């Protein structure tokens, strides 16, 4: 007899796979495909085939119900952020229930939703829904939403076109209809090493790189001081922000740094052009590079685009939003500043909305959790969705 797992059992299984973005997600994908196939569901994969990568990854998607267009897509990502250096009180790769919470890496972001989506897909197949349901499980969302666009392209080639997408990022089961876009640039400042006592004859990559980081601070201060537009005022914070989260470089305290590496990212409010912010940053980079080359001509600054995430733009009478509001009863306006794959689906012609269990404040944290009440609310949502597909 085919085994049918509960949503909690499915989440527990998914979290047991440590699918940190730097590692392969194939063991998880293999298991999900085996589970869905055992229930008579045909699965499709898109493989990460970038020759520059050393880790093999795959996205998985499937369709149940009538072989026709107009499906609802349940969209989630399979990767999670690292636990390195975080003080966990429980095993992050297992689900621990305590004080009304499910602890574990991914319970909130976002294997809890993935588990609910897998459960709903199996139930939709068993119950014989009249309107089709699809699932889409991506990779590399946590490093810039880079895995979804090729997956979506492959879905459009293989499956009947769906009409609405529910991206299950943690939103406290509220209908989130807009989010900021994002662009990120890896910055490599290439300096010139000399003894620090002769620093004026060398180019300290860290100190020149700090000029770019200080420019980001100035951007944030200026944007914060401006009166936000009506669109920007719907977000927190109500402005485009620039951020550097990791920096590395240098050899020793008494040597001018030869190299400095950091990523500078923008979170851009809808209505502003992300390319304009790119151009502003590139112009500042060229100014700093000219200062470096005035000292040592062979120094330089190299930029590489790390990610490009389009915003989720609120839709006029959007099908996805309408469906979620009908199920949840939530009629308030919700916008978020984090990026998701919803904007990428929207770019390809899908109506998209964000709705999933958990609080984004718990995402990426040590002792990450989703409350039992939120997970149960997600389960109830899926039951109501299934009713609408019958």
Q: Which value, to the nearest 10 degrees, does the dihedral of the CA atoms of residues 354, 6, 358, 14 take?
A: -90
DSSP 130: S
CA distance 122 to 128: 10
| Cβ atoms 48, 140 nearer than 8 A | yes
Both tokens of 357, joined, read: 């269990």
Among 245, 261, 247, 339, which residue's Cα sits nearest to residue 303?
261
Give me the catalytic one of 33, 141, 193, 341.
141
- Tokens 């392209």, residue located: 153
| Cβ atoms 72, 121 nearer than 8 A | no
Q: Is 319 a residue of the active site?
A: no
R_g (Cα) of the chain, nearest Å: 23
CA distance 385 to 231: 31
Give me the catalytic one of 79, 142, 330, 368.
79
| Cβ atoms 278, 183 nearer than 8 A | yes
Give the C-alpha distances (Å, rounded to integers) separating 389 from 77, 124, 218.
Answer: 24, 8, 51
Q: Is 79 a residue of the active site?
A: yes
Q: What angle do CA 342, 112, 330 make, to 5 degrees?
A: 60
| Cβ atoms 188, 302 nearer than 8 A | yes
Q: Which residues are catalytic?
A: 79, 141
């Amino acid at each position: 007899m085919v085994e049918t797992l509960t949503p909690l059992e499915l989440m527990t299984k998914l979290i047991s796979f440590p699918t940190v973005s730097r590692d392969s997600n194939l063991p998880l994908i293999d298991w999900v495909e085996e589970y869905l196939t055992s229930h008579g569901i045909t699965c499709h994969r898109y493989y990460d085939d970038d020759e520059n990568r050393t880790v093999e990854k795959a996205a998985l998607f499937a369709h149940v119900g009538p072989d026709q267009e107009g499906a609802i897509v349940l969209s989630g990502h399979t990767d999670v952020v690292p636990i390195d250096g975080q003080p966990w009180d429980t095993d992050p790769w297992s689900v621990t229930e305590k004080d009304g919470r499910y602890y574990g890496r991914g319970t909130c972001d976002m294997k809890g939703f993935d588990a609910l989506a897998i459960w709903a897909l199996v139930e939709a197949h068993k119950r014989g829904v009249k309107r089709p349901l699809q699932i889409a499980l991506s990779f590399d969302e946590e490093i810039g939403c880079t895995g979804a666009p090729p997956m979506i392209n492959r879905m459009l080639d293989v499956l009947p076109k769906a009409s609405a997408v529910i991206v299950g990022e943690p939103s406290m089961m509220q209908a989130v209809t807009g989010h900021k876009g994002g662009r990120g640039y890896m910055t490599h400042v290439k300096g010139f090493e000399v003894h620090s006592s002769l620093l004026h004859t060398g180019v300290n990559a860290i100190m020149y790189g700090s000029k770019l980081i200080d420019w980001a601070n100035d951007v944030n201060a200026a944007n914060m001081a401006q009166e936000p537009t009506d669109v920007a005022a719907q977000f927190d914070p109500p402005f485009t922000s620039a951020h550097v989260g990791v920096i590395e470089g240098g050899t020793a305290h008494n040597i001018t740094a030869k190299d400095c590496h950091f990523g500078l990212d923008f979170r851009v409010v809808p209505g502003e052009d992300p390319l304009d912010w790119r151009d502003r940053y590139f112009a500042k980079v060229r100014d700093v590079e000219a200062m470096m080359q005035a000292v040592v001509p062979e120094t330089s600054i190299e930029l590489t685009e790390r990610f490009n995430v389009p915003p989720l733009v609120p839709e006029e009478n959007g099908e996805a939003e309408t469906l979620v509001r009908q199920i949840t009863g939530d009629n308030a306006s919700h916008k978020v500043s984090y990026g998701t794959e919803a904007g990428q689906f929207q770019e390809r012609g899908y109506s998209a909305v964000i709705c999933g269990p958990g609080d984004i404040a718990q995402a990426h944290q040590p002792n990450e959790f989703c409350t039992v009440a939120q997970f149960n609310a997600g389960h109830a949502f899926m039951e109501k969705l299934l009713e609408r597909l019958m």
